[in-house]
Amino acid sequence: MRPLVRRFSQLHPPNKTTYTYNTMMKAQLQNPTPDPQKALGFFNKMRRNGISCDNYTYPIVLKACRMTRGLWEGRQVHGEIVKVGFFNSDVYVRNGLIGMYCKSGQMSCSRALFEGFCEKDLVSWNLLVSGYVECGDMVEAQKVFDEMPERDVVSWSIMIDGYGKKTGDIVRARLLFDKMDERDVVSWNTMIDLYAKVGDMVAARELFDMMDRKSLVSWSIIINGYLQHQDPMEALYVFNLMLSHDIKPDKFCVVGAISACAQLGALDQGKWIHMYIKKKKIVSDIVVNTALTDMYMKCGSTEEARAVFNGMPEKNVVSWNAMISGLGANGFGDEALTYFSQMEQEQIQVDDLIYVSVLSACSHGGFVAKGLEIFNRIKDPKVEHYGCLIDLLVRAGKLEQAISFIASMPMEPNKDLWGSVLLGCRVQKYVGLGEFVLNKLKKVGGDDCGVYVLMSNIYGDNGMWEEGMKMRKILLEKGMVKEGGKSVIEAVDGGLVEFVCGKNSKLCRNDDIEHVLWSLSKMVDLE
């Protein structure tokens, strides 16, 4: 039996028509993982085999050039188009050319082509405007926009996005948005995304709530917006809202929700989402799996984190980092080091953050020699790496060695680094050094509330009560208040409850929790 469908490569040359090639090239650009290089490969083969191009071929090829930013290839195609005589016959071909030149930043070229067109349509105008926007030339973009014989939602959205992203003029963007006669999903999402990016989640949410037809992009903008601006509770709330509306989230929304669980330490919610992804067959990728690994690690569930990580079909440096930093933070320092060497064996490119994770794993595990060895392998150590090293030495009780390392640093120590030293001063009762460090911290603006409390304790530990009181007085004078600590606890019913320390909040259930803590402490006392 001959197969009904034959692979492209099995077709004989006479069957390889222009149409077939066009379809193949288009498929390369529309794949989940677009490969414009491959599309251009087909194009070259097409010409080698003497297959003629038609008016559908060139827009596709030009788009491929645009995606690879292959200006040289694009110019060749341009020449061929003129030679073959397609230039003046087809507006799609001409627009493809403008798009290609715009993406390579050749605005004078695009403009000249545009001016020479016998006939231009709305797409030609929009391409020109978006070209200027891309270059950050909002003045010229506005000029062209004003000259347009007619404008559609695309023209307006390009301008809105440009004012927001290129000049940061969100007020102007909003003015344009309000001026629009009609808006589609993309124009709404563009405006909402601008607000979310600058952290104005109130405005973003207001628009989002006003939308009647939200797309998955809209939901993802809001969920990830809350996440990026330290409101994981709200991110999770919106995610659950989505589910209650029977909307199936995609990987972008799901990643936001998983990361929110990681930030909150909401293990049960996280597990539930993990199950939900599997059950609903949501297309996961390396990012989703890395987020899951990180979430399990942050929630202290190392076993499940290992299971996700080891089951990943492919991993990148971010995945390895989630694993290594997670193991270190959960007290599996030696295992973190094992994974690190495995990672190096698999030829994964090590980056700065990996070294931070590995060094802090050494620090928590007390592996001084190993930590020093790894530090010496870093080609261009950053202040964060020195910070890890100092922390490692301080925790190991080697304060003097830490100080001499600081002296050898090619850059200024930051406040975290001095903070580690100050902690060491308390443990080893070094008052004078503590005072020295406090002065350094003042200079880098790192003398926060915790620092004065620590310094006061250093004085106290050494019987210097008056100096200790002085620190307390500074706290009062500067009006420094310890930032309210906040924990989120998963209630028995699966809901999330905030437990706020240092201030009273009517919204949280501090009384209930304090009551439980009180009974627990009584039980401990009885033992």
Partner DNA sequence: ATAGGGTTAG
> Would you tell me which residues interact with DNA (CB under 7 A)?
26, 29, 55-56, 59-60, 63, 66, 90-93, 95-96, 99, 121-124, 126-127, 130, 152-155, 157-158, 161, 184-187, 189-190, 193, 215-221, 224, 227-228, 250-253, 255-256, 259, 262, 285-287, 290-291, 294, 316-319, 321-322, 325, 351, 353-354
Nearest distance, CB of residue 376 and DNA, angstroms: 20
Compute the Cα dihedral for 445, 448, 450, 453 and give only its sign: positive
For DNA, the closer CB: 56 or 452: 56
For DNA, the closer CB: 204 or 406: 204
For DNA, the closer CB: 363 or 510: 363
- CA pair distance 477, 268, nearest whole angstrom: 44
Nearest distance, CB of residue 325 and DNA, angstroms: 5
Output Rg (C-alpha) for the chain, integer angstroms: 30
For DNA, the closer CB: 26 or 385: 26
For DNA, the closer CB: 130 or 269: 130
For DNA, the closer CB: 282 or 409: 282
Nearest distance, CB of residue 141 and DNA, angstroms: 12
Nearest distance, CB of residue 133 and DNA, angstroms: 8
Nearest to 44 by CA among 31, 33, 28, 32: 28
For DNA, the closer CB: 26 or 415: 26
Compute the Cα dihedral for 241, 284, 330, 434 and give only its sign: negative
Number of H helices, E strands in the chain: 29, 2
Alpha helices in 151-250 (DSSP H): 153-165, 170-179, 185-198, 201-210, 216-228, 232-244
Nearest distance, CB of residue 158 and DNA, angstroms: 5
Helix 251-264 × helix 232-244 angle, to 10°: 140
Tokens of 398: 């080697």
Nearest distance, CB of residue 58 and DNA, angstroms: 8
For DNA, the closer CB: 198 or 453: 198
Tokens of 73: 């290839």
Tokens of 499: 């437990």
Nearest distance, CB of residue 268 and DNA, angstroms: 19
For DNA, the closer CB: 298 or 395: 298
Q: What is the DSSP string of 268-330?
A: HHHHHHHHHHHHTT----HHHHHHHHHHHHHTT-HHHHHHHHHT-S---HHHHHHHHHHHHHT
503 and 491 Cβ atoms separated by less than 8 Å: no
Nearest to 336 by CA among 360, 315, 317, 313: 360
For DNA, the closer CB: 269 or 510: 269
Compute the Cα dihedral for 320, 387, 266, 189 and give only its sign: negative
Q: What is the DSSP string of 432-490?
A: HHHHHHHHHHHHTT---HHHHHHHHHHHHHTT-HHHHHHHHHHHHHTT--PPPEEEEEE
Nearest distance, CB of residue 390 and DNA, angstroms: 21
Can you say how many angstroms the Cα of residue 325 is from the centroid of all Cα atoms in its chain? 18
Nearest distance, CB of residue 4 and DNA, angstroms: 24
Helix (H) or strand (E) holding 450: helix 449-461
Nearest distance, CB of residue 131 and DNA, angstroms: 9
